[in-house]
Amino acid sequence: MNEKVSALLNEQVNKEFYSAYLYLDMANFYTQKGLDGFANWYEIQAKEEQDHAMLMYQYLQNNGEKVTLEAIAKPDKNFETLMDPLTAGLEHERYVTSLINNIYAAAIEVNDYRTTQFLDWFIKEQGEEEKNSMDLITKMELFGDDARSLYMLNSELAARVYSAPSLTL
């Protein structure tokens, strides 16, 4: 595999684990606020991020590349309002989209179509992740100020269940 593509994928393993850590911190925040449904939603989000990391880890290994596991950064976002994690989540997903796009561009540059095909799933996934984040913000804007509506929104988010990624390697 091209050295740059391999290094970027290796970095992305770390970034995905960081994403998991960040979302776990958001779940932690909502648990402290008594919103167990929001916490559930973000705990599942954290699990999905671990899946993303493991898919890249496995993809590198399947291609004979050495994976180096670096330190995972501390989640450093400061949450005060119930909206804060939601806007931070959208901002973070947009950042991750830019990272995936960068790896894709690097792979195209060296005609590494196996990697672009692998990344196609992530390109689509990022579209979903950004949409989910935007939908949560819209719902919070609409219903967040009313206690009864917030209770129902919390119940809706409590119903989210984890499912393993559809991508197999």
Q: Does 93 bind ligand FEO (CB under 6 A)?
A: yes
Output the smallest distance, CB 73 to ligand FEO, in A.
15
How many residues form the binding site for ligand FEO (CB under 6 A)?
Answer: 7
- The answer to whether 147 touches 35, Cβ cutoff 8 Å, is no
Residue 104 buriedness (CB in 10 A; 0-12 / 13-18 / 19+): buried
- In this structure, the number of other CB atoms found within 10 A of the CB of residue 37 comes to 19
> Which member of 25, 43, 112, 129 binds ligand FEO (CB under 6 A)?
129
- Please report, as residue ranges, which positions from 32 to 61 form the binding site for ligand FEO (by CB under 6 A): 49, 52
- The answer to whether 12 touches 99, Cβ cutoff 8 Å, is yes
For ligand FEO, the closer of residues 133 and 154 by Cβ is 133
Q: Which residue is nearest to ligand FEO (CB)?
A: 52
- Amino acid 31 reads T
- The answer to whether 106 touches 4, Cβ cutoff 8 Å, is yes
> Which member of 6, 9, 13, 19 binds ligand FEO (CB under 6 A)?
19
Residues 45, 129: Cα–Cα separation, whole Å: 9
For ligand FEO, the closer of residues 85 and 150 by Cβ is 85
Output the smallest distance, CB 80 to ligand FEO, in A.
23
Binding site for ligand FEO (CB under 6 A): 16, 19, 49, 52, 93, 96, 129
